[in-house]
Amino acid sequence: MPGVFDRLDKEIKVKQQKDGITALDLVDLPPALRKIMRLMLRELQMSYPRLREAMDSMPETDRLTLDQLDSALSNLTQQFWLTHIGEGEKAIYKVNLRKKTGSTLAAGIWSSLDTRLKGKPK
């Protein structure tokens, strides 16, 4: 029988999957995963061959091997940083960005401020 903590952990994981990530979350990633995410954030969507090309064009000290790249992409997908469509060479990866929240300001705030400012003596 699952306990309360198991249920809460599952809810958190589902929420992370739906909500995606923010740029502030990048700080917590290991360097190899951060490199891929910075690369992905420039284009938001990349095919697997394009990712390999981009990795090959990096300075040698920053490059990941093919195995490291595959492992990192799998890890980022499992953690919901990336989503992917297709498999192998035909895979397309997309960044799973968090949705922005709407404004909570009342609709008439600007007219209220304008009225108050006009009523104030200079």
Helix (H, G, I), strand (E, B) or coil at 16: helix
Q: Where are the domains of the chain?
A: 4-100
How far, in Å, CA of 41 to CA of 61, rounded?
21
pLDDT per residue of the chain (122 residues) written in tens, 0 to 9: 567 667 666 665 655 555 556 667 778 888 888 889 888 888 889 999 999 999 999 898 888 999 999 999 998 988 888 988 888 889 999 988 765 555 556 667 777 777 888 876 55
d(CA 89, CA 6): 37
| Main-chain dihedrals φ then ψ at residue 54, nearest 5 degrees | -65, -40
CATH 1.10.10.10 for domain 4-100, yes or no, is: yes
Tokens standing for residue 37: 């995410």
The 3-class secondary structure across 97-113, one letter per residue, is ECCCCCCCCCCCHHHHH
